[in-house]
Structure 1
């Protein structure tokens, strides 16, 4: 087996994020707009309103921050997980529990590494729906990072770190960990009612990623909503106070705002992520064959 660079997962994730960014933007806007109890604007409504107000190109607002996020958050979480899997496999096939634990730890590391870029992504994608006096106006991720440090200091870089790290732990375990689990369980099994056995191909990747996407979206939604609200806020909200206020004003379902676009985004993104990742590994192995 030829080795491949640590950063390859970040490149694959960036490619996938570029394809699914409009859905990520819609998800963040659904999560950060506070509404009356029982009022939950649909994904289609938010998409239509965004296009009508700012045009189709606005769906890619904040793309530079999305790329910066993937080249920090996903680069670390995928790179360290792949190295951990390789290390665990040296002593035989690792158990599902060990893989999930490794995915959780690596996800936490990725959440810490990607926190500044995550703040920029949330702020840039939700900026146009904020009152003019509360907008950040970051033209791109690099200038946004400079502005963040200049205006809020180094402490601004860790805003929402607790919620983001918890989400990253849950995401990596429930997405990457469960993807490996579903893939290994389905491989070679027969599709009910159909004369077809799963093979290691795109069909298996799509089914496994959709299942893992459902699990990941549901488990991560509460932490994802809280992370988005903390990071998009101009004020220094205490997470507990923010949670209790949102719960009181909007009801418990606010924790699942943006679930639909998050799921629609996460399924294809997971498929694209692993397809791109496998192809990049294959291409790297061709150009740099193992000795």
Structure 2
């Protein structure tokens, strides 16, 4: 009987897996951004989807895809790399430790990925602005260049504090909850380390992510999409949003869940398969 040796993911696996997942779920993310910035009468996910396709065409659902991929290659690579490095070097059996490491890794990743996140939000929301006011970024790198050129380098990090907080919370809900769920499922003796377990654990994590991050996601989207000087800071954005009622912080929850759950599932399925076939065996001291 052969003994299966546990492999560990390489530092860039998380970023590649997340970038692959976003290629599938980007349209849902775009609709979510539109719902979060929508003002006036409430509109459903289906209505917003139909409106976008009718007014701009089907390919409009992929506006900002280059920025989404670039964001994952910066943001997710950083947060997964920090978490995976910790798993090799410290005792991560305690859930509290997992949450702490995930929060730190996510916060750092959120800051690193803030410029790509800002351009991503703007690219996705550009079609909702009158044509004479649109930014018309060609792609992610053009967006970065245009922001630096016209608004200055610091502008790239507008909303970075909110993005970091959200990323810290999201990484706890995604990576730490996934890791703990997988651990508990395997410990139950009813599951094996296979795709079924990865699917179940990632589904749980996807639900956790949506519940935990939606208010911060709404604030981050509004701050990044705001015109210069519209909000003095996150506090003013909170006050402004609260005037629309408490449910304003949960605008786009349904599309967020529809996007977060499959995104989390696809990310971890790819991540686990990459680890299985291309991972490494660390030399523990």
TM-score between both structures, scaled by the size of structure 2? 0.91
Task: Specify every segment of 5 or more residues in structure 1 that has no aligned partner in the other structure, as ranges.
Answer: 191-196
1:246 paired residue among 241, 257, 268: 241
Cα distance in 2 for partners of 1:110, 1:179 equals 18
1:111 aligns with: 110
2:120 aligns with: 121
Task: Specify every segment of 5 or more residues in structure 2 that has no aligned partner in the other structure, as ranges.
Answer: 1-5
The CA RMSD measured in Å over matched residues stands at 1.9
Aligned-partner SS, 1:111: helix
Aligned pair count? 276
**5 Å matches for 1:1-291?**
5-35=10-40, 39-89=41-91, 94-189=93-188, 197-236=190-229, 237-238=231-232, 239-248=234-243, 250-285=244-279
Question: Do 2:9 and 2:84's aligned partners in 1 also have CA atoms closer than 8 Å?
Answer: no
Residues 157-182 of structure 1, C-alpha deviation per residue, up to 9 Å, x if partnerless? Answer: 11001111110010001111111111
Residues 205-235 of structure 1, C-alpha deviation per residue, up to 9 Å, x if partnerless? Answer: 2222222211111110111000000101113
Moved more, 198-207 or 137-146: 198-207
Aligned-partner SS, 2:90: helix
TM-score between both structures, scaled by the size of structure 1? 0.89
2:3 aligns with: none
Cα distance in 2 for partners of 1:201, 1:5 equals 19
How far did residue 28 of structure 1 move? 0.7
Cα distance in 1 for partners of 2:9, 2:201 equals 24
Q: Which runs of 4+ in 1 moved over 4 A?
A: 1-4, 288-291
